Chain A
Amino acid sequence: MTPLAFVLQRLSALVMVPVVIVHLGLVIYAVRGGLSAGEILGRTQGSVAWGLFYTLFVVSVALHAGLGLRNILDEWTALNRGATAAIAHLFVVLTLLLGLRAVFAVTVS
C-alpha cells in the first residue's frame, strides 16, 4: 500500500458517510411516499444538484471499493502485486462506467 492509496481510502470513506446516509434517506422517502419511477425521474432529470451528488457517490464508492479489493487480494491470495493492481484498476473502471452510466440515465436522459 502506498501513502496515496492509504489517504485516498480514508478520504473516500469520509465522503461516503454523509452521501450514503442521504442516499438511504432518499430511498426510504421514495418508497414510503409511494413515488413511481416516472415521478422520481421527473425530479431528477435535468437536476444538476442530483447529478453532482450521485457522481460524487459513484466516484467515492469506486475508489474506496477498488482500494479495499486490492488489499483483500494482497492479503488473501497468492497473486503478485502487479496482478492485484491490474484487477483492482479494472474493477474501478467497471464500477465507474456502470455507476456513471446510471447517473447519466437518471439525471440527463
Chain B
Amino acid sequence: MSDTLEVRIWRGGAEGGLVHYNVPRQASQTVLDVVTWVQRNDDPSLAYRFACRVGMCGSCAMTVNGRPRWTCRTHVDKVTDGDSLTIEPLGNVPVIKDLAADMTPFFEKWQSARGRFHGAATRRDAYARIKPDSPARQTANAHVECINCAVCYSACDVVSWRKEYLGPAALNRAWVAFNDERDAHLGYVLRSVAVNGGCMSCHTHQSCTQHCPVGLDPSAAIAGLKKALSRAYLSGRLKLS
C-alpha cells in the first residue's frame, strides 16, 4: 500500500470514459473525500453530489470498484483493490455528467408505488394511538429508516432487466405505508404494487438487502407485499380498478 491512490473517475455523460488521477492517501479517508480532493485540487469542473456527509441525506451514492455504495461513509481502506479505486456514477439511472446521476426514474417510481402517507384525520381529530409493540408498528419500524440513496435500486438486476420495475426502495416504502395503521388508503398501496413491474417481479435474490448501507431488508418487505397481495387477490379483496 503506497501513500498515493490510483483513482479512475468517470468523466462526461453516457458516452464519457474513465480519467486517471493521483490522490494522496489520508487516514480515515472516505471515497467522498477522494472525489472532493480531485475537485478542489485537480479539476474544479468535476460534477458530483453530496450534502450531509454523515449518511443521512442519501445523495452521495456512486459505483465504487463496481459496487453501489454511499460514498460519505465508505472508507477507502475497506474498498480499494491495492491502491486502485474506480469511481463511476450510480448504475440503473442515467448519468447527467461525471458522477451526478439523474434520479428522476427512481423518484417517479417511488411516487407510483404510493410510498406516501395518506391521512384521513383532520386537526380536530384526536391523535391516533398506535401501540409501539403492535406487529404492524414493529414491521413499519424495521423498514422506515430509508435514506432514498438508491443504492439498492442500482444493485438490483431486475431493475436493469425490466424498465417498468418499481425497484426495492419504492416497494420497501410501500410496505411501510401498508403497515401504517393510520394510513387511510391501504387498498391503494396494494393496488399500486399489483401492477406489471410491481412487487410480483422481484426475484428475491436479495442483492438490495446485501447492499443497503442502512441495513434495511427491502427483499423481506417485498416478500411481505407479495403475501398480502396474494391473500387479498385470492379472497377477492383486491380491487384492481
Tell me if A39 is interfacial: C-beta within 8 Å of chain B: no
Residues of A within 8 A of B (CB): 1-7, 10, 74-76, 81
CA distance A3 to B196 in the complex (A): 9
- Shortest C-beta distance, B230 to chain A (Å), equals 5
Decide if A75 touches B161 in the complex (CB within 8 Å).
yes
**Residues of B with C-beta under 8 A to A81:** 196
Tell me if B166 is interfacial: C-beta within 8 Å of chain A: no
**Residues of B with C-beta under 8 A to A4:** 233
Closest to B198 in A: A1
Size class of the contact patch on chain B: 10 to 19
Decide if B161 touches A7 in the complex (CB within 8 Å).
no
- Shortest C-beta distance, B192 to chain A (Å), equals 13
Those of B170-212 within 8 Å (CB) of chain A: 194, 196, 198, 200-201
Closest to A74 in B: B162
Decide if A1 touches B200 in the complex (CB within 8 Å).
yes
- Shortest C-beta distance, B12 to chain A (Å), equals 27
Given the interface pairs A10-B230, A81-B196, the reply to whether A3 lies near B158 with Cβ below 8 Å is: no
Partner of A7, one of B162, B233, B240: B233
Tell me if B34 is interfacial: C-beta within 8 Å of chain A: no
**Residues of B with C-beta under 8 A to A3:** 194, 200, 229-230, 233, 238, 240
Closest to B165 in A: A75
**Known A1-B198, A7-B234, A75-B162; 13 more pairs at CB < 8 Å:** A1-B196, A1-B200, A1-B201, A3-B194, A3-B200, A3-B229, A3-B233, A3-B240, A6-B200, A6-B230, A75-B161, A76-B161, A81-B196
Those of B85-101 within 8 Å (CB) of chain A: none
> What are 24 sample pairs from A and B whose C-beta atoms fall under 8 A apart?
A1-B200, A1-B201, A2-B196, A3-B194, A3-B200, A3-B229, A3-B230, A3-B233, A3-B240, A4-B233, A5-B200, A6-B200, A6-B229, A6-B230, A6-B233, A7-B230, A7-B233, A7-B234, A10-B230, A74-B162, A75-B158, A75-B161, A76-B161, A81-B196
**Residues of A with C-beta under 8 A to B238:** 3
**Residues of B with C-beta under 8 A to A76:** 161
**Residues of A with C-beta under 8 A to B194:** 3
Closest to B229 in A: A3
- Shortest C-beta distance, A68 to chain B (Å), equals 12
Those of B15-37 within 8 Å (CB) of chain A: none
CA distance A6 to B238 in the complex (A): 14
**Residues of A with C-beta under 8 A to B230:** 3, 6-7, 10
- Shortest C-beta distance, A61 to chain B (Å), equals 21
Those of B201-241 within 8 Å (CB) of chain A: 201, 226, 229-230, 233-234, 238, 240
**Residues of A with C-beta under 8 A to B161:** 75-76
